[in-house]
């Protein structure tokens, strides 16, 4: 069974189970750290395409300690963790205790897969051999699209499902294209104490993951995530010729916001302003009607596997080394 077939089957089972209870009225996407950021494209899709199912996204411990009042038997909780982060397992149990149907999205079996009603395995984007059309972000986006299709219909459903098969080939070409660019960027930023990452709309989640997971966690370099729209409401005051700023540029309806940012930072920033454009990465190979929802699926693995690794090489920081994580109680 393919991942798409599995997603379709699980969503069908959830809806059938809830049919005599009023159906699914809400979906919550739950995860911690990179898993939380990886849920962003599913939430983004639901916000822009769905009218019958209300969608929200939570980091695991917020969901545990401030559980939304609406979580009940008409809720679907999609809970993501590679190997079963402690607070994410608790979040799944809390959702289940409130009557929600629960789906575990995972790499390795853990307490999470034991707690949840259903489970779907994904490929880690950090593994070169993985299929990037089956990563955590891809699977949750499939679930969002499938849930929409089965509850109210999604006009671009067939086009979107076909696009998942294009993700990995696009990614492979983008790796070859970006390697020399990433090497130059890394050399220019090897001595910078802070690397700011800026994006908006469909790419804000990828910027967040790059900032908190790749730069801060893996390389222990300070980083700030900036929404390109909010850049003009405070953060642009830090910009000068020395500022390190990595801007992600999307395809989709809100690309004009990226272009506004480009004009400003190119005028007032310096040589450490760097821009990576979805059009350069091959997102135009996906039909315009759905390409917006695939920005994250291409950018996230490129940032992790090309740009983070390039910066690791020039700074001589082993990206598998941690200062606190997995070593201390926290």
330 residues of the chain, pLDDT tens digit each: 999 999 999 999 999 999 999 999 999 999 999 999 999 999 999 999 999 999 999 999 999 999 999 999 999 999 999 999 999 999 999 999 999 999 999 999 999 999 999 999 999 999 999 999 999 999 999 999 999 999 999 999 999 999 999 999 999 999 999 999 999 999 999 999 999 999 999 999 999 999 999 999 999 999 999 999 999 999 999 999 999 999 999 999 999 999 999 999 999 999 999 999 999 999 999 999 999 999 999 999 999 999 999 999 999 999 999 999 888 888
Instruction: Look at residue 114 in the predicted model and tell me its pLDDT.
Output: 98
The DSSP 8-state label assigned to residue 66 in this structure reads S
Buried b / exposed e along 105-137 (16+ C-beta atoms within 10 A): bbbeebbbbebbbbbbebbbbbeeebbbbbbbb
Using N-to-C axis directions, what is the helix angle for 295-302 and 136-151, rounded to 10°? 170
Helix (H, G, I), strand (E, B) or coil at 213: helix
In angstroms, the CA 204 to CA 41 distance is 9
Closest CA to 286 of 247, 251, 248: 251
**Do the domains at 3-154 and 170-315 have one common CATH topology?**
yes
Across the chain, the runs of DSSP E, i.e. the strands, are 26-31, 54-59, 75-80, 101-106, 118-121, 194-199, 222-227, 245-249, 273-277
In angstroms, the CA 213 to CA 133 distance is 21
**Tokens 């969503």 correspond to what residue?**
11
| β-pair type (273-277, 118-121) | unpaired
Round the CA-based radius of gyration of the chain to a whole number and report it.
20
In angstroms, the CA 207 to CA 265 distance is 17
In angstroms, the CA 142 to CA 243 distance is 38
Question: pTM here?
Answer: 0.97
**How many residues are listed for the chain in this entry?**
330
Looking at the domain 170-315, which fold is it?
Rossmann fold (3.40.50)
Closest CA to 205 of 49, 59, 9, 39: 39
Closest CA to 105 of 120, 88, 117, 127: 120
**Tokens 């983008």 correspond to what residue?**
174
Looking at the domain 3-154, which fold is it?
Rossmann fold (3.40.50)
In angstroms, the CA 100 to CA 319 distance is 37
Instruction: Look at residue 73 in the predicted model and tell me its pLDDT.
Output: 98
Instruction: Look at residue 327 in the predicted model and tell me its pLDDT.
Output: 87
Locate the domains of the chain by residue range: 3-154, 170-315
């Amino acid at each position: 069974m393919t991942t798409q077939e599995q997603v379709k089957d699980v969503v069908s089972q959830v809806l059938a189970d809830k049919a005599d209870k009023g159906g699914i009225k809400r979906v919550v996407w739950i995860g911690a750290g990179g898993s939380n950021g990886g849920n962003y494209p599913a939430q983004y899709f639901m916000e822009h395409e769905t009218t019958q199912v209300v969608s929200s996204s939570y980091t695991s411990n917020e969901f545990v300690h401030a559980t939304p009042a609406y979580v009940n038997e008409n809720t679907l909780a999609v809970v993501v963790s590679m190997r079963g982060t402690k607070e994410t397992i608790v979040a799944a149990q809390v959702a289940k205790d409130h009557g929600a149907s629960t789906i575990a999205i995972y790499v390795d079996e853990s307490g999470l897969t034991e707690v949840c009603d259903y489970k779907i395995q994904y490929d880690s984007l950090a593994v070169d051999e993985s299929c990037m059309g089956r990563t955590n972000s891809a699977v949750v986006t499939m679930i969002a699209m499938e849930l929409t299709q089965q509850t109210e219909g999604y006009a671009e459903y067939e086009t979107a499902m076909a696009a998942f098969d294009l993700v990995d080939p696009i990614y492979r070409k983008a790796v070859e294209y970006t390697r020399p660019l990433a090497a130059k960027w890394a050399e220019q930023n090897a001595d910078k104490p802070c690397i700011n990452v800026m994006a908006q709309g469909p790419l804000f989640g990828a910027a967040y993951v790059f900032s908190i997971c790749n730069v801060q966690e893996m390389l222990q370099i300070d980083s700030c995530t900036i929404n390109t729209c909010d850049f003009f409401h405070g953060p642009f005051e830090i910009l000068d010729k020395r500022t390190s700023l990595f801007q992600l540029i999307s395809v989709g309806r809100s690309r004009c916001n990226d272009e506004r940012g480009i004009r400003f930072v190119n005028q007032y920033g310096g040589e450490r302003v760097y821009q990576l454009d979805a059009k350069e990465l091959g997102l135009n190979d996906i039909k315009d009607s759905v390409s917006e929802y695939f920005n994250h699926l291409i950018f996230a693995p490129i940032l992790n596997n090309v740009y983070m690794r390039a910066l690791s090489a020039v700074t001589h920081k082993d990206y598998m080394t941690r200062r606190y994580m997995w070593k201390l109680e926290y």
